[in-house]
Protein backbone atom coordinates (compact mmCIF):
# COMPACT_ATOMS: atom_id res chain seq x y z
CA UNK A 1 0.00 0.00 0.00
CA UNK A 2 1.16 3.54 -0.70
CA UNK A 3 2.62 4.84 2.58
CA UNK A 4 1.11 8.30 2.24
CA UNK A 5 -2.36 6.97 1.70
CA UNK A 6 -1.93 4.62 4.56
CA UNK A 7 -0.85 7.31 6.96
CA UNK A 8 -3.69 9.53 5.74
CA UNK A 9 -6.10 6.72 6.45
CA UNK A 10 -4.63 6.26 9.90
CA UNK A 11 -5.06 9.92 10.69
CA UNK A 12 -8.70 9.90 9.54
CA UNK A 13 -9.29 6.75 11.44
CA UNK A 14 -7.73 8.22 14.53
CA UNK A 15 -9.88 11.32 14.20
CA UNK A 16 -13.12 9.40 13.95
CA UNK A 17 -12.37 6.95 16.69
CA UNK A 18 -10.54 9.45 18.80
CA UNK A 19 -13.85 11.17 19.27
CA UNK A 20 -15.42 7.87 20.04
CA UNK A 21 -12.61 7.08 22.46
CA UNK A 22 -13.23 10.32 24.31
CA UNK A 23 -16.90 9.58 24.62
CA UNK A 24 -16.64 5.92 25.50
CA UNK A 25 -13.16 5.68 26.92
CA UNK A 26 -12.27 2.61 24.90
CA UNK A 27 -9.33 1.71 22.69
CA UNK A 28 -9.38 2.08 18.93
CA UNK A 29 -10.75 -0.62 16.67
CA UNK A 30 -8.35 -1.92 14.04
CA UNK A 31 -8.18 -0.08 10.73
CA UNK A 32 -9.52 -2.82 8.41
CA UNK A 33 -12.46 -3.45 10.71
CA UNK A 34 -13.43 0.17 10.92
CA UNK A 35 -13.07 0.79 7.19
CA UNK A 36 -15.23 -2.25 6.45
CA UNK A 37 -17.75 -1.15 9.03
CA UNK A 38 -18.12 2.32 7.62
CA UNK A 39 -18.41 1.19 4.03
CA UNK A 40 -21.01 -1.43 4.98
CA UNK A 41 -22.87 1.06 7.16
CA UNK A 42 -23.09 3.49 4.27
CA UNK A 43 -24.37 0.70 2.03
CA UNK A 44 -27.01 -0.30 4.61
CA UNK A 45 -28.26 3.22 5.18
CA UNK A 46 -28.20 4.30 1.54
CA UNK A 47 -29.91 1.04 0.61
CA UNK A 48 -32.57 1.54 3.28
CA UNK A 49 -33.27 5.11 2.25
CA UNK A 50 -33.25 3.99 -1.37
CA UNK A 51 -36.02 1.47 -0.68
CA UNK A 52 -38.16 4.18 0.86
CA UNK A 53 -37.65 6.96 -1.70
CA UNK A 54 -37.57 5.01 -4.98
CA UNK A 55 -40.57 5.69 -7.15
CA UNK A 56 -40.25 2.42 -9.01
CA UNK A 57 -40.77 -0.80 -7.03
CA UNK A 58 -38.02 -2.50 -9.06
CA UNK A 59 -35.51 0.08 -7.91
CA UNK A 60 -36.72 -0.39 -4.35
CA UNK A 61 -36.09 -4.11 -4.62
CA UNK A 62 -32.57 -3.51 -5.91
CA UNK A 63 -31.84 -1.06 -3.09
CA UNK A 64 -33.15 -3.72 -0.72
CA UNK A 65 -30.54 -6.15 -2.07
CA UNK A 66 -27.81 -3.60 -1.40
CA UNK A 67 -29.04 -3.03 2.12
CA UNK A 68 -29.23 -6.77 2.84
CA UNK A 69 -25.72 -7.20 1.49
CA UNK A 70 -24.50 -4.55 3.90
CA UNK A 71 -26.20 -6.37 6.76
CA UNK A 72 -24.47 -9.59 5.71
CA UNK A 73 -21.13 -7.78 5.91
CA UNK A 74 -22.07 -6.65 9.40
CA UNK A 75 -22.73 -10.28 10.31
CA UNK A 76 -19.30 -11.26 8.96
CA UNK A 77 -17.65 -8.55 11.03
CA UNK A 78 -19.23 -10.03 14.14
CA UNK A 79 -18.07 -13.61 13.60
CA UNK A 80 -21.44 -14.79 12.31
CA UNK A 81 -20.18 -16.03 8.96
CA UNK A 82 -22.79 -18.76 8.61
CA UNK A 83 -25.63 -16.32 9.15
CA UNK A 84 -24.02 -13.97 6.64
CA UNK A 85 -24.15 -16.71 4.02
CA UNK A 86 -27.73 -17.60 4.94
CA UNK A 87 -28.68 -13.94 4.78
CA UNK A 88 -27.38 -13.66 1.21
CA UNK A 89 -28.87 -16.96 0.09
CA UNK A 90 -32.30 -16.56 1.69
CA UNK A 91 -32.85 -12.85 1.29
CA UNK A 92 -31.08 -11.91 -1.91
CA UNK A 93 -31.48 -15.35 -3.44
CA UNK A 94 -35.07 -16.09 -2.58
CA UNK A 95 -37.04 -13.27 -1.02
CA UNK A 96 -35.96 -10.39 -3.23
CA UNK A 97 -36.20 -12.58 -6.31
CA UNK A 98 -39.76 -13.39 -5.29
CA UNK A 99 -40.48 -9.68 -4.93
CA UNK A 100 -39.07 -8.95 -8.37
CA UNK A 101 -41.00 -11.86 -9.82
CA UNK A 102 -44.26 -10.53 -8.42
CA UNK A 103 -43.50 -7.01 -9.63
CA UNK A 104 -42.89 -8.29 -13.13
CA UNK A 105 -45.87 -10.64 -13.04
CA UNK A 106 -48.24 -7.88 -12.04
CA UNK A 107 -46.67 -5.42 -14.45
CA UNK A 108 -46.51 -2.68 -11.88
CA UNK A 109 -42.93 -1.68 -12.64
CA UNK A 110 -44.09 1.81 -13.38
CA UNK A 111 -43.06 4.90 -11.45
CA UNK A 112 -45.56 6.00 -8.88
CA UNK A 113 -46.12 9.63 -8.07
CA UNK A 114 -44.89 10.18 -4.54
CA UNK A 115 -46.24 13.70 -4.39
CA UNK A 116 -49.89 12.96 -3.81
CA UNK A 117 -50.88 11.87 -0.38
CA UNK A 118 -54.51 11.72 0.67
CA UNK A 119 -53.75 12.31 4.32
CA UNK A 120 -51.93 15.61 4.54
CA UNK A 121 -50.80 15.25 8.11
CA UNK A 122 -49.48 11.76 7.65
CA UNK A 123 -46.11 12.50 6.09
CA UNK A 124 -44.88 15.15 8.56
CA UNK A 125 -46.11 12.96 11.40
CA UNK A 126 -44.25 9.96 10.03
CA UNK A 127 -41.05 11.92 9.62
CA UNK A 128 -41.46 13.35 13.10
CA UNK A 129 -41.92 9.83 14.41
CA UNK A 130 -38.81 8.68 12.57
CA UNK A 131 -36.80 11.54 14.03
CA UNK A 132 -38.14 10.62 17.45
CA UNK A 133 -36.97 7.03 17.07
CA UNK A 134 -33.65 8.31 15.77
CA UNK A 135 -33.16 10.71 18.66
CA UNK A 136 -34.16 8.09 21.17
CA UNK A 137 -31.76 5.54 19.78
CA UNK A 138 -28.90 8.00 19.69
CA UNK A 139 -29.66 9.03 23.25
CA UNK A 140 -29.61 5.38 24.26
CA UNK A 141 -26.40 4.76 22.39
CA UNK A 142 -24.51 7.66 23.90
CA UNK A 143 -25.86 7.93 27.40
CA UNK A 144 -27.41 4.67 28.52
CA UNK A 145 -25.82 1.27 28.30
CA UNK A 146 -26.99 -0.77 25.35
CA UNK A 147 -26.16 -4.00 27.05
CA UNK A 148 -26.09 -5.40 30.53
CA UNK A 149 -23.92 -8.05 32.13
CA UNK A 150 -26.18 -11.04 31.79
CA UNK A 151 -24.68 -14.49 31.63
CA UNK A 152 -24.90 -16.60 28.51
CA UNK A 153 -27.67 -19.20 28.54
CA UNK A 154 -27.32 -21.01 25.27
CA UNK A 155 -23.57 -21.45 25.07
CA UNK A 156 -20.80 -19.09 24.08
CA UNK A 157 -20.82 -17.55 20.64
CA UNK A 158 -17.11 -16.83 20.34
CA UNK A 159 -14.20 -18.98 21.34
CA UNK A 160 -14.19 -22.62 22.35
CA UNK A 161 -13.04 -25.58 20.32
CA UNK A 162 -16.04 -26.20 18.07
CA UNK A 163 -16.84 -24.05 15.08
CA UNK A 164 -19.77 -21.72 14.71
CA UNK A 165 -22.06 -23.92 12.64
CA UNK A 166 -21.67 -26.75 15.12
CA UNK A 167 -22.56 -24.47 18.00
CA UNK A 168 -25.60 -23.15 16.14
CA UNK A 169 -26.73 -26.66 15.33
CA UNK A 170 -26.39 -27.80 18.91
CA UNK A 171 -28.35 -24.82 20.19
CA UNK A 172 -31.12 -25.32 17.62
CA UNK A 173 -31.55 -28.98 18.46
CA UNK A 174 -31.31 -28.64 22.21
CA UNK A 175 -32.52 -25.40 23.75
CA UNK A 176 -34.48 -24.20 20.73
CA UNK A 177 -35.97 -27.54 19.68
CA UNK A 178 -39.59 -26.52 20.24
CA UNK A 179 -39.41 -23.25 18.27
CA UNK A 180 -37.59 -25.15 15.54
CA UNK A 181 -40.44 -27.64 15.32
CA UNK A 182 -42.94 -24.81 15.39
CA UNK A 183 -41.44 -23.34 12.22
CA UNK A 184 -42.64 -26.48 10.45
CA UNK A 185 -46.22 -25.43 11.10
CA UNK A 186 -45.39 -21.94 9.86
CA UNK A 187 -44.00 -23.22 6.58
CA UNK A 188 -47.00 -25.53 6.10
CA UNK A 189 -49.31 -22.56 6.49
CA UNK A 190 -47.24 -20.60 3.99
CA UNK A 191 -47.54 -23.39 1.40
CA UNK A 192 -51.27 -23.91 1.95
CA UNK A 193 -51.88 -20.18 1.88
CA UNK A 194 -49.89 -19.53 -1.26
CA UNK A 195 -51.59 -22.34 -3.15
CA UNK A 196 -55.04 -21.29 -1.99
CA UNK A 197 -54.57 -17.60 -2.79
CA UNK A 198 -52.91 -17.93 -6.17
CA UNK A 199 -55.45 -20.49 -7.29
CA UNK A 200 -58.08 -17.95 -6.33
CA UNK A 201 -56.43 -15.49 -8.64
CA UNK A 202 -56.56 -18.01 -11.45
CA UNK A 203 -60.17 -18.84 -10.80
CA UNK A 204 -61.35 -15.28 -10.71
CA UNK A 205 -59.50 -13.99 -13.74
CA UNK A 206 -59.69 -16.88 -16.13
CA UNK A 207 -62.84 -18.49 -17.24
CA UNK A 208 -61.44 -21.97 -17.65
CA UNK A 209 -62.72 -23.78 -14.64
CA UNK A 210 -61.72 -27.35 -13.95
CA UNK A 211 -64.95 -27.99 -12.13
CA UNK A 212 -68.06 -26.02 -11.50
CA UNK A 213 -67.70 -22.94 -9.42
CA UNK A 214 -70.17 -22.89 -6.55
CA UNK A 215 -69.99 -19.10 -6.38
CA UNK A 216 -70.60 -17.68 -9.87
CA UNK A 217 -68.52 -14.59 -10.19
CA UNK A 218 -68.10 -12.37 -13.20
CA UNK A 219 -67.85 -12.10 -16.92
CA UNK A 220 -64.56 -12.97 -18.54
CA UNK A 221 -62.26 -10.04 -18.99
CA UNK A 222 -60.82 -9.61 -22.50
CA UNK A 223 -57.16 -10.48 -22.83
CA UNK A 224 -54.84 -7.63 -22.19
CA UNK A 225 -57.53 -5.52 -20.65
CA UNK A 226 -56.45 -3.91 -17.46
CA UNK A 227 -58.42 -1.51 -15.37
CA UNK A 228 -56.98 1.97 -15.56
CA UNK A 229 -58.04 2.95 -12.10
CA UNK A 230 -56.35 0.20 -10.22
CA UNK A 231 -58.66 -1.94 -8.25
CA UNK A 232 -62.25 -1.42 -9.28
CA UNK A 233 -64.92 -1.21 -6.68
CA UNK A 234 -66.82 -4.39 -7.42
CA UNK A 235 -67.80 -6.84 -10.03
CA UNK A 236 -70.65 -4.68 -11.31
CA UNK A 237 -68.41 -1.77 -12.06
CA UNK A 238 -65.91 -4.05 -13.68
CA UNK A 239 -68.53 -5.37 -16.04
CA UNK A 240 -69.65 -1.83 -16.86
CA UNK A 241 -66.11 -0.81 -17.63
CA UNK A 242 -65.64 -3.77 -19.91
CA UNK A 243 -68.85 -2.92 -21.73
CA UNK A 244 -67.73 0.64 -22.31
CA UNK A 245 -64.38 -0.55 -23.55
CA UNK A 246 -66.07 -2.80 -26.05
CA UNK A 247 -68.40 0.00 -27.14
CA UNK A 248 -65.51 2.25 -27.94
CA UNK A 249 -64.01 -0.35 -30.16
Partner 1 sequence: MMLAVLAKLPIISWPAILPETIFIGGALLLLAVSALSNKKLSSGFCAVYTILISVAALGSSMYLWDKLSSHSSYVAMSSSIAVDGFGVFVAILVCSITVLIALAGEGFFRDSWGSLEFFVLIMLSSSGAILMAMANDLIVVFLGLEIMSISLYVMTAMDPSRTSSGEAAIKYFLLGGFSSAIFIYGIALIYGSTGSTNLANIATFLADNVLVQNGVLLCGIAFLIVGFAFKVALVPFHMWTPDVYQGAPTPATSFMAALAKAGGFAAFLRVFFSTFGTLRSDWRPIIWVLAVLTLLIGVLLALVQQNIKRMLAYSSISHAGFVLLGLQAASAIGVAGSLYYLFTYSFLVIGSFTVVMLVAGEKDTNHSLDSYKGLARRRPWLAGVFTLLLLAQAGVPFTTGFMAKLYVLSALISAHGYALAVIAMIGAAIAVFFYLRVVVLMYSPAPGFAANDETGAALDTDTGIGESIEVGDEAATIQSSGMSLTRSTALVLAITVGITVAFGINPAPLIEFARHATLLFH
Partner 2 sequence: MSIPGSWYLTLAALLFSIGVVGILVRRNVLIMFMCIELMLNAANLTLVTYARMLNDIGGQVLVFFVLVVAAAEVVVGLGVIVSIFRRAKSTTADDLHILKG
Residue 62 and residue 57: Cα distance in Å, rounded?
9
Binding flag, residue 196, partner 1 (CB under 8 A)? yes
Binding to partner 1 in span 202-221, by CB under 8 A: 203-204, 211, 213-218
Residue 175 and residue 117: Cα distance in Å, rounded?
48
Binding to partner 2 in span 75-94, by CB under 8 A: 75, 77-80, 83, 86-87, 90-91, 94
CB closer to partner 1, 121 vs 197 = 197
Residue 102 and residue 12: Cα distance in Å, rounded?
45
Counted residue by residue, the chain has a size of 249
Q: Which listed residue (146, 161, 223, 226) binds partner 1 by CB under 8 A?
A: 146
How far is CA 149 from each of CA 29, 82, 160, rounded to the nearest angstrom? 22, 26, 20
Binding flag, residue 132, partner 1 (CB under 8 A)? no
Q: Which listed residue (117, 219, 236, 243) binds partner 2 by CB under 8 A?
A: 117
Burial 152-174 (b: 16+ CB within 10 A, else e): eeeeeeeeeeeeeeebbeebeee
Binding to partner 1 in span 23-82, by CB under 8 A: none
Minimum CB separation of residue 170 from partner 1 in Å reads 7
Binding flag, residue 228, partner 1 (CB under 8 A)? no
Nearest to 85 by CA among 168, 182, 181, 172: 168
Residues at the site binding partner 1, with contacts judged by CB under 8 A: 136, 139-140, 143-153, 170, 173-179, 182-186, 188-190, 192-193, 195-197, 200, 203-204, 211, 213-218, 231-236, 239
Amino acid sequence: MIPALHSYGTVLHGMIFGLHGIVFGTTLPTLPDSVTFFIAAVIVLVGGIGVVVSRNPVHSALWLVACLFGIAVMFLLQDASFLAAVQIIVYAGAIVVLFLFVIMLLGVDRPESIGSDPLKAQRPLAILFGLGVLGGSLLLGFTAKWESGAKSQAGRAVGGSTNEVQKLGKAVFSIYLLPFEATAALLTIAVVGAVLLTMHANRTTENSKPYEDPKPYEDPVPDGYRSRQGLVANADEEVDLVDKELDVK
